[in-house]
């Protein structure tokens, strides 16, 4: 007798379970755990910790114990002693970093001063009382912006050794910002420029980022900066 097409043969093998899709190449085996670990690690790195300060096993043990609601394996006195040890270690590291930064800053200041002293002698370079130096590459005929104006510019910034640290030209899109919201060297120069001007700016450290250096680490403490700046427009 013919069986309906919908009937199942009890002797037939079970259908195979659908295959589990493979994780994308390069993805951590435990993405959630990896994300949590990265987040914690970034916070610890920001506070000055280094990998040799603890073991991954110790970190995992502490996290799992806390999640499970277990009582701490350390006494209050032991934890306080560890906190003190950590503070001492991190403070010593910070002092070492500041001392090294001071040495770098002093060396950079000397290099910057020598560079600006020689640069001031070059043809076409003009110096302002503030220490700002500039050279006119192209003369514009437009208006001069005020500190309250928003301007559109193209620029390329380099260190005195020629290293490019920022460039709207390379990005292919002009920058737009308020004149009063930039470093002092830019503020002074922009208010002397006319729309259409292209200048080379030679900015001493005290009119740039000073002893602290620039954001992102690309500009060290007390570095003189060079910018090629083209004032394209005054937006308002």
Question: Which residues are catalytically annotated?
Answer: 155, 165-166, 183, 209, 227
- Rounded CA gap, 130 and 154, in Å? 24
> Torsion over CA of 119, 124, 128 and 131, rounded to 10 degrees?
-10
Q: For residue 153, what are the contacts with CB-CB under 8 A and spacing of at least 6?
A: 168, 174, 175, 176, 190, 229, 230, 231, 232
The tokens describing 24, both together, are 């994308």
């Amino acid at each position: 007798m013919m069986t309906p097409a919908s009937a199942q043969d009890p002797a037939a093998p079970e259908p195979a379970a659908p295959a589990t899709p493979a994780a994308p190449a390069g993805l951590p085996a435990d993405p959630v755990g990896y994300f949590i670990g990265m987040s914690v690690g970034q916070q610890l790195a920001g506070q000055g910790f280094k990998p040799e300060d603890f073991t991954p096993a110790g970190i995992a043990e502490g996290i799992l114990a806390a999640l499970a609601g277990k009582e701490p394996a350390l006494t209050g006195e032991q934890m306080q002693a560890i906190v003190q040890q950590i503070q001492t270690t991190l403070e010593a590291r910070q002092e070492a970093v500041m001392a090294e930064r001071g040495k770098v800053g002093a060396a950079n200041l000397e290099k910057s001063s020598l560079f600006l002293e020689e640069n001031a002698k070059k043809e076409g370079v003009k110096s302002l009382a503030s220490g700002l130096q500039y050279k006119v590459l192209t003369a514009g005929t437009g208006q001069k912006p005020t500190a309250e104006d928003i301007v559109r510019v193209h620029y390329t910034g380099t260190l005195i050794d020629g290293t490019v640290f920022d460039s709207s030209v390379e990005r292919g899109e002009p920058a737009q910002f308020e004149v009063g919201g930039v470093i002092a060297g830019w503020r002074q120069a922009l208010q002397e420029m006319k729309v259409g001007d292209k200048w080379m700016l030679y900015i001493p450290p005290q009119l740039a980022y000073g002893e602290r250096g620039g954001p992102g680490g690309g500009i060290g403490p007390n570095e003189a900066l060079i910018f090629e700046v083209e004032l394209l427009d005054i937006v308002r």
